[in-house]
Amino acid sequence: MRALVLPLALLLALAPHPAPAEGPATDPLTIANTYGRALAILGQQQAVAMLAAAIEDSRRQALAEGTAAIPEAIRARLAGHVPAQDLEMVRWRVGGGTDLSLQRNAILHGNASAITLGEVVVFADEGEALANASLWAHELRHVGQYREWGVPGFARRYLADHQAVEADAVAFAAAFAGGPPPLTLPERARLSPPRAPW
């Protein structure tokens, strides 16, 4: 609870105050709205921090369990489409993780084919990892997003609008496959994501 007091106090200190001529805010609705906004911002910050920490922990687990460089056949197919630095730094594995890890939960309970944790891609199926270049293109776009935004930035954008983050990766994979992006690609996926209020 003490961890909430200081950030909440800082947010309230930064909250807009009425002009001196107006006097102190005594309207309960105005006071409640100010507190509500402060708590919402604090909640968003906590959620971003928790997701970023879970991504980092899950990434470390995957690396500790053993990873490999991108398969040569996949690398050759993606060369020229995926930035070379992403092809160089990416590591991959199949499954793994503890009961609370993102990779285990995304694969077992979310039916994900793969999940990207920074520069580490964890696949549900080895056959897909060795043969599905389109899936790799999708996941490597997420690697690029982490590189461009950092882990906290990725977490913030994913929590704010995961559909836009995924739509960007879907469009990237569709471009690799030579097809047009899906017709359902939301317009917001082509726009810069909203800036966080903090």
Q: What are phi and psi of 70, to 5 degrees?
A: -55, 140
If one compares 7 and 155, the residue with the highest pLDDT of the two is 155
Rounded mean pLDDT, 43-66? 93
Residue 162 has pLDDT above 80, yes or no: yes
Q: In what side-by-side order are the strands of the sheet with 68-69? A: 68-69, 91-94, 120-123, 114-117
Rounded mean pLDDT, 17-45? 65
Residue 6 has pLDDT above 70, yes or no: no
Residue 95 has pLDDT above 60, yes or no: yes
Residue 18 has pLDDT above 80, yes or no: no
Please tell me the predicted confidence (pLDDT) of residue 23. 53
Residue 81 has pLDDT above 50, yes or no: yes
Q: Which amino acid is at 82?
A: V
Instruction: Tell me the two tokens of residue 154.
Output: 């990725």
With a pLDDT cut of 70, the percent of the chain lying above it is 69
Residue 100 has pLDDT above 80, yes or no: yes
Rounded Cα distance between 91 and 36, Å, is 42
Mean pLDDT of the residues in the chain: 81
Q: How many CB atoms lie within 10 A of CB 89?
A: 15
Q: What are phi and psi of 91, to 5 degrees?
A: -125, 155
Report CA-CA distances (Å) from 150 to 9, 31, 39, 158: 28, 36, 25, 12
Domains of the chain: which residue ranges? Answer: 52-190
